[in-house]
Amino acid sequence: VAESELLRHHGDSDVRPGLVDLAVNVRTDTPPPWLLEVLRNSLTGLAKYPDPTAARLAVAQRHGRDPDEVLLTSGAAEAFVLLARALGARHVSVIHPQFTEPEAAARAAGLAVHRTVLSWPFRLANAQVPDESDLVFVGNPTNPTSAGHSTKEVLALARPGRTLVVDEAFADCVPGEPFSLAGRADVPGLVVLRSLTKTWGLAGLRCGYLLAEPAVVQRLSAAQPLWPVSSPALDACVACSAPGAVAEAELAAVSLSANRSYFLDELTKISGVEVVPAPVASFLLMQHSGGPGLRARLAERGFAVRRGDTFPGLGDDWIRIAVRRPSVSQAFCGALAESL
């Protein structure tokens, strides 16, 4: 399989009908009913072209930024493509293991990519990024390692003349968002990406945004097609930026932390399993002694997990698993122990 194809592999391809899905990290029981209502109401306005003004303002207020520092995108995925194509970058660095689309987008734009590959326990402190890199991608919290890097560690990657892109697609699954740089308008070259996909269960709607200095927003915006974000997605941005929704996400983050601690404790009891320590996101990454056939054996027992080998820096003795309710995690641990 070509490497470019592996980079384009995502958790949804690891799921099969009838399996409990621990491969995709979208929060379960989402979108909530009130959000579905917002989307249903949005349909009556579909005859009009979308107007992003209200959504830009809502997102700006949610993060304490100016509307001209906000660019709404068709998911974080569109932002990777815009950044790769529109900034005239010459030397791209991607800090791996991480979500592979930034690298895929850079390569598709004809850019050479330097990989900075972290090793266990995947902390940023020792990351060696070439000084000449003018476009750097880092995920925080990082998919698939679940590592949360301090704002100080992330900001240490900023340089004059460099665009530092921090993918915060999972930032709102950490209570209080201690790792987020979304509110920082004072760091030249900083671009923060956010997504509504995971927390709100809107993978199919395609809505996300980036926060950056106005000149960068203008440049990226000029590279977008006309009307890139649909009116239902814009309405979702407004609704999910409201204080009540942010508070709901915070409660979900608190409950996720408890579920994750339970899962981590249970997994740690299983011999032949090493879980990456100090996870902060909605998934865990583990190395196992079950060989390349482990995923098939887990599938026989009803569970789909995300393969690890398509992430640069990991191999086929790694899997990523979503954190769900304790009863699901417990059942999974039983299946894993048997499969090993």
Ligand X SMILES: Cc1ncc(COP(=O)(O)O)c(C=O)c1O
Binders of ligand X among 128-187, rule CB under 6 A? 139, 143, 167, 169
Candidates 71-79, 114-122, 214-222, 262-270: pick the segment binding ligand X (CB under 6 A). Answer: 71-79
Nearer to ligand X, 31 or 333 (CB): 31
Candidates 74-82, 176-184, 236-244, 267-275: pick the segment binding ligand X (CB under 6 A). Answer: 74-82
Bridge partners for 113 per DSSP: 92
Reported as half-sphere exposure (CB side, CA atoms, 13 A), residue 250 has a value of: 10
Cα–Cα distance measured from residue 95 to residue 104, given in angstroms and rounded to the nearest whole number: 13
Cα–Cα distance measured from residue 336 to residue 330, given in angstroms and rounded to the nearest whole number: 10
The answer to whether residues 316 and 309 touch, using CB atoms and an 8 Å cutoff, is: yes
The answer to whether residues 56 and 45 touch, using CB atoms and an 8 Å cutoff, is: no
Q: Which of 195, 199, 224, 231 binds ligand X (CB under 6 A)?
A: 195
Q: Which of 20, 38, 76, 89 binds ligand X (CB under 6 A)?
A: 76
* Position with the least CB separation from ligand X: 75
Q: Which of 20, 23, 72, 77 binds ligand X (CB under 6 A)?
A: 77
Size of the site for ligand X (CB under 6 A): 12
Q: Which of 208, 228, 279, 312 binds ligand X (CB under 6 A)?
A: 208
CB of 169 to ligand X, least distance (A): 3
Cα–Cα distance measured from residue 318 to residue 175, given in angstroms and rounded to the nearest whole number: 27
Which amino acid, one-letter code, is at 314? Answer: L
Nearer to ligand X, 196 or 217 (CB): 196
Q: Does 99 bind ligand X (CB under 6 A)?
A: yes
Closest-CA residue to 234 (of 208, 273, 258, 271): 208
Nearer to ligand X, 22 or 335 (CB): 22
DSSP string, 166-213: EE-TTGGGSTT-TT--TT--SSTTEEEEEESHHHHT-TTT--EEEE--
Q: Which of 42, 93, 197, 329 binds ligand X (CB under 6 A)?
A: 197
Cα–Cα distance measured from residue 297 to residue 308, given in angstroms and rounded to the nearest whole number: 16
Bridge partners for 304 per DSSP: 21
CB of 327 to ligand X, least distance (A): 25
Q: Does 203 bind ligand X (CB under 6 A)?
A: yes
Nearer to ligand X, 169 or 294 (CB): 169
Nearer to ligand X, 286 or 335 (CB): 286
Nearer to ligand X, 99 or 332 (CB): 99
CB of 193 to ligand X, least distance (A): 7
Residues in the chain: 340
Cα–Cα distance measured from residue 147 to residue 133, given in angstroms and rounded to the nearest whole number: 23
Cα–Cα distance measured from residue 134 to residue 76, given in angstroms and rounded to the nearest whole number: 20
- Residues of this chain that interact with ligand X (CB under 6 A) are 75-77, 99, 139, 143, 167, 169, 195, 197, 203, 208
